[in-house]
Amino acid sequence: MKRPLVLCALAALTLFGCGRKSEHVSQLIPSPNGAYQAVVLDCRADASDCSPLLKVIRTGEPTSRETQSVQEATLTPGVQPRLTWMSDTTLLIDEPGASARPDIQGEVSFVFVPWRLMPSSFMAKLPPRARRPDNPPPPPAQPSKVPPVDSACGFPGLKLPTDVSVLAGGAYAGAKSTNHIDQSGHAATTMEVSVDNPQKPVVLILGAYEPTIWTIHRAPGTTILAVLASGYHRQVVTGLDANTPVAIHTNENKSPCGRFFMGRDDLEELNTMAQKFFGRDVDKVHPAYNGVVTMGSAQGTSSQWVGRGNAPASSYFVKPVPRPADLAETGIDEALRKGQLRRANLGDKNQWEAEMAKRAPKLGLSPDAVKLRLLHANSTGSLDRAYVVLGPMTLPEGLYGARSAVFFVPKGTERPRGNPGHSTIYDFNDMSCTGTGCG
């Protein structure tokens, strides 16, 4: 079995000339950057003293046995090696029938790897003997081509005429409604969009921060080729012909193409998005007022608007999932109804203060520490959101910010389970105070 040899150099080689007449250069292999030269010398003067020698030298050095080399190796006598530069730093040396050699350390080292075919550009520069191996290896497999990936930022197959108008419109929010189209907890706003541009076909760019339902009306003779809608929350577009393409790119659907709003301070993103999707800048921006926007350049009397589309806005309504704030209120109300809680009163707060003052010496609290704990007990204020735990219970979710509460736990009553959030718990069992209201 053949054992090929790889010579790893710091750089590649250039073509060079022969040395002494008593030495025969049996193979020459150039490589791209010309930092090194390689030569295989076969000593003809005294065959008993000389074996084929592979020398790696720097460009410009003479090619003789006496030349100082970067690295060299003695090759097998009588065996014609085949040489291939695999890269700027790797030279493959194939010695058919040769035994394995130990690695040689230094700037150039030798390792054994499978034989690979020499590039044709190098083969043409080799002597004929080296260009005709007995068993030429098969050509390397061609790397597979990576297929092109279509961008998500556009309308596949949409070809726009040169005279198309790019119109943008919208506002932070439209007219208020009580319906929901997502689970943000924000009620959807509505936008009535009237497009009157019979002179040229149009593409629309619509933007709002709040979840918004855009209902499109167009004047007779107006052609809408595509609609791009964006915002932070969900956007819905209705009223279009069934074959009019619509792209929705928002923070809510984690768009890879970015998003934009239509506030007066957010217009810098419009041309960027217009270029991504339509290959041109916006021609005109039409701000919306109270959920109404008219787009286009037609002048004169009001048009007879046409609205189509078989998906009415109501088909996008959803029942919102209760928000954490709602869960907190609902949970407290249910605990009061079940008798697990009662509302705290001034007597409960005074009892905590008296008990804390009485137990302070036993608890090792300084007068300042007692004052601090009493201060936080007094922070219950009007006791509007203060409760006394009457039995085993789990605290509701969402006890954060303005929805947080104060809970007094009487002696002998189990401390409530669950996440207190930003709430404070005064426990008479061990006179402990836990939560954000404790110093």
What DSSP string runs through 377-392?
HHTTTT-TTEEEE-S-
pLDDT of residue 103: 42
pLDDT of residue 439: 61
pLDDT of residue 303: 59
Q: How far is CA 139 from the centre of its chain?
A: 40
Asked if residue 12 lies in contact with residue 88, where contact means CB atoms within 8 angstroms, the answer is yes
pLDDT of residue 311: 64
Q: Indicate the pTM of the whole model.
A: 0.44
- pLDDT(226) > 70: yes
Task: Report how far residue 293's alpha carbon sits from residue 207's, in angstroms, rounded to the nearest whole number.
Answer: 12
- pLDDT(190) > 90: yes
pLDDT of residue 72: 76
Average pLDDT over residues 133-145: 56
Average pLDDT over residues 131-151: 55
pLDDT of residue 118: 39
**Residues near 5 by Cβ (< 8 Å), separated by ≥ 6?**
73, 81, 92, 93, 94, 95, 98, 101, 110, 111, 112
- pLDDT(374) > 60: no
- pLDDT(13) > 90: no
Least trusted range by pLDDT, from 6-10, 61-65, 255-259:
6-10
pLDDT of residue 90: 64
Q: What is the pLDDT of residues 254-274, one digit of tens each?
A: 888 888 877 666 677 888 889
Q: Which tops the pLDDT comparison, 62 or 249? A: 249
pLDDT of residue 251: 86
State percent of the chain over pLDDT 70. Answer: 62
Q: Which tops the pLDDT comparison, 201 or 371? A: 201
The torsion region of residue 58 among left (phi > 0), alpha (psi -120 to 50) and beta comes to beta
Find where tokens 């589309």 sit. Answer: 309
Helix (H) or strand (E) holding 58: strand 53-58
pLDDT of residue 23: 65
Average pLDDT over residues 122-144: 50
Least trusted range by pLDDT, from 11-25, 192-206, 234-248, 249-263:
11-25
- pLDDT(75) > 60: yes
- pLDDT(132) > 50: no
Q: How confident is the model at residue 18 (pLDDT cuts 50, 70, 90)?
A: very low
pLDDT of residue 68: 77
pLDDT of residue 286: 92
Kindly list the domain boundaries of the chain, sorted by start residue.
3-131, 165-316, 324-435
Average pLDDT over residues 413-423: 91
Environment class of residue 206 by beta-carbon count within 10 Å: exposed (0-12), middle (13-18) or buried (19+)? buried
